[in-house]
A and B are shown apart, each in its own frame.
Chain A
Amino acid sequence: MSEIILTPKEQPQVPLEANTITPDSFAGKNIDEISNIAIWNGNKQFRLSEFFDVQGESAENPSEIKIIIDGDIYNTKRIGQSMTAGEITVKGNANMYVGAEMDGGKITVEGNVGSWAGQDMKGGELTVLGNAGDYVGSAYRGDWRGMSGGLITIHGNVGNEIAEYMLGGKMVIKGNVAIMPGIHMNGGLLIIEGNVVARTGGEMKGGTIVVKGVIDEFLAGFKYLGVERNIEVEGEIIEGAFYKFKGDLATKGASGIVYAAVAGNGHIVPK
């Protein structure tokens, strides 16, 4: 695998939009050509080399390219957007839309990311070691088809409306979640290892949500199906005892499933 190292210079106050930082757009270009790739700073375009030092060696095929962003790019959006192969590692924070519309390959962010990480994801792997904002693995605004494949793992906490309109693939949140995880979910698997504030699976019609932590408030539109032990979801066994709910019966023809760990969730079961 050939490595291309981008060392960020100072991040500008008006954010950068760098959907061209992908193995796909770097493939077949030499380092000079990569340095000249255009990125947006507000409404003006600049060369990549204005904001990053570019080193390393490129390759013909995107699957042979690993891009290492060696620093914090907290004000750069759209890293790895639409990538289909190869690898990107960010050794710091990144802004919105990391791995949006991603179809393959692997992205690892060592810090935090902004909202819409993995928006409309179709395949590949996105891992964030820090926190993420709202709308992880969501749909594009106004679309009713969200993430359809791939794997998103967030090690920290996330915000609202993650897995919005999710259709397929898998998302694992190791930290806590704000409100409305799996809103309008239609398929796929969402595993939350931490706690959820409220509205788990609001208006969901399909798919599975597993919550290992505590759900503060639950929606009345679900149907309680009893306790299940060592559940099997999408071919994997999750150990422990879970309350099982079906819903959200506020929507016509809903058959989504929410599992909530028995430990800590006694208050959401009907008396």
Chain B
Amino acid sequence: MELVKNVVCPFCGTLCDDIICKVEDNEIVGTKNACRIGHSKFVHAEGAERYRKPLMRKSGELVEVSMDEAIDKAATILAESKRPLMYGWSCTECDAQAVGVELAEEARAVIDNTASVCHGPSVLALQDVGYPICTFGEVKNRADVVVYWGCNPMHAHPRHLSRNVFGRGFFRDRGRPDRTLIVVDPRKSDSSKLADIHLQLDFNKDYELLDAMRAVLLGHEILYDEVAGIPREKIYEVVDALKNAQFGILFFGMGITHSRGKHRNIDTAIMLVEDLNDSAKFTLIPMRGHYNVTGFNQVCTWESGYPYCVDFSTGTPRYNPGETGSNDLLQNKETDGMMVIASDPGAHFPQKALERMAEIPVIAIEPHRTPTTEMADVVIPPAIVGMETDGTAYRMEGVPIRMRKVVDSGLLPDREILKRILKKVKEIKAASK
């Protein structure tokens, strides 16, 4: 058995880079340091069914075809659709994403990543009011007040707390005892159990609570004795703790980005952080889910000027989540052809969006059998990034980390598959001119 050290985990946005993989006969059989979720991905637990040959749906059944035939079919769907949608991107590396943006421009498609159903609202908010962000290193070494708002890292990002709260840092040499942990969540969770202060607010009242906290921070009275189920005195106590921070950090997740008001919750949370900097040092980091969801927003922004939901239909990039988001396009029945890569909307999108996916041709570039591949017309299995091929990913706060190749699968990486589709789309477009 061989031990491969310093492997980067291709699961969540925490992007732990200290994993040791146990390799036997070109297969990962075990891990050290990884959390349970990361470990499962490395060792293909839970009976995952892996595709190794391209497939096409013929008379209702997926049958094996040659790579050329699958690429041809995928390119034809993209080139012939009037409003093709290219969705996913968050579980692949940045070079593949860059080819993807070029392909979207060539096919005059809309390109969108999973941010549109997770931290898209955060992206909208930071475009409106800014983004006072920092890195994990600063949190570990400096943070004395740590807030988790609308997230449960013990389950979703299992090593996040151990790296950022329990971990010992330069100015926080005792680790956890040197930090005040505040969790804001309507529910009791395994994260809230660890908190010094748990603000158990009412569902969908994040904006109301933040509005009251901001008014209190600026020295105003608030209208009511209780806001979002939190008594006035408690709000004063928490604001006091925040504004006396030497170095405060707000981590925020889906519980606030997708509760009522969405991006406006984040907008006012960012402004709270900004106003806190009048008396404290305060920063924030979004709890990004997929390991390279942040990377796509970076790549797409430097290629097109916009982070996601980019519409190339008229040849110039345009951007308006609410119109050009994947769910908008599917639920309004605007899109007439879809490519899915490195994500599984079949398992996560609402029923109405899936109904449209079932009506239109779908291409899936996907290593496993998933609900998405069940409704796909073409399936092209790639090598898995971070295990079977290398590439760059961006950690949740925007630090790029090089992913390693641990074993050999003999499959093409996403970027190669996309380059072949791009070449074919160019040929089809040239022939039709």
Contact = CB atoms under 8 A, between A and B. Distances in A.
Interface in A217-271: 217-224, 248-252, 268, 270-271
Given A202-B268, A203-B267, A251 B82 contact: no
B218 A217 contact: no
Query: Which range contains the number of A residues in contact with the other chain?
Result: 35 or more
A4 B118 CA distance: 46
Contacts of A221: 211-212, 214-215, 220, 222-223
Contacts of A103: none
B275 interface: yes
A199 interface: yes
Given A220-B222, A221-B220, A250 B314 contact: no
Q: B109, B128, B275, B336: which has the most chain A beta carbons within 10 Å? A: B128
Contacts of A222: 223
Given A202-B264, A219-B211, A220-B222, A40 B314 contact: yes
Contacts of A43: 82-84, 108-109, 312-314
Given A43-B313, A179-B261, A203-B268, A220 B207 contact: no
Interface in B209-231: 210-215, 218, 220-225, 227
Given A42-B83, A141-B321, A252 B218 contact: yes
Given A202-B211, A202-B264, A220 B322 contact: no
Contacts of B334: 13-15
A21 interface: no
Q: B82, B211, B323, B334: which has the most chain A beta carbons within 10 Å? A: B211
B222 A202 contact: no
A271 B226 CA distance: 12
B261 A180 contact: yes
A36 B281 CA distance: 60
A249 B220 contact: yes
Contact of B207 (A44, A202, A251): A202
Contacts of B84: 43
A162 interface: no
Contacts of B127: 141-142
B282 to A, nearest CB: 16
Contacts of A199: 207-208, 261, 264
A87 interface: no
A115 B323 CA distance: 9
A50 B21 CA distance: 61
Contacts, number: 115
Contacts of B322: 115-116, 134-135
Interface in A120-165: 134-135, 141-142, 144, 161
Nearest to B336: A14
Contact of B336 (A42, A223, A251, A268): A42
Contacts of A224: 223
A250 B268 contact: yes
B82 A249 contact: no
Nearest to B313: A43
Given A43-B313, A180-B261, A218-B223, A250 B323 contact: no
Nearest to B83: A42
A220 B210 CA distance: 10
B44 to A, nearest CB: 39
B116 to A, nearest CB: 13
A65 to B, nearest CB: 25
Nearest to B224: A220
A98 interface: no
B109 to A, nearest CB: 8
B319 interface: yes
A217 B215 contact: no
A251 B218 CA distance: 8
Nearest to B82: A42
A63 interface: no
Contacts of A183: 264
Contacts of B275: 252
Interface string B268-285: 100100010000000000
A96 interface: yes
B275 to A, nearest CB: 7
Given A44-B82, A202-B207, A223 B128 contact: no
Contacts of A251: 214, 271
A219 B208 contact: yes
Contacts of A184: 128
A223 B320 contact: no
A222 B212 CA distance: 9
Interface in B195-253: 207-208, 210-215, 218, 220-225, 227
Contacts of A7: none
Interface in B39-68: none
Nearest to A199: B207
A16 to B, nearest CB: 11
A184 B125 CA distance: 12
A250 B215 contact: yes
B124 A220 contact: no
A41 interface: yes
A234 B391 CA distance: 59
Interface of B: 81-84, 108-109, 124, 127-128, 207-208, 210-215, 218, 220-225, 227, 260-261, 264, 267-268, 271, 275, 312-314, 319-323, 332-336
12 contacts: A14-B334, A42-B81, A42-B82, A43-B108, A44-B82, A199-B207, A219-B223, A220-B222, A220-B224, A221-B220, A250-B268, A251-B214
Sort A-B residue pairs by CB-CB distance and give the 3 closest, nearest first.
Answer: A42-B82, A43-B108, A250-B214
Given A219-B208, A223-B223, A248-B211, 10 more contacts: A43-B83, A43-B313, A116-B320, A135-B322, A199-B208, A199-B264, A203-B267, A223-B221, A250-B271, A271-B225
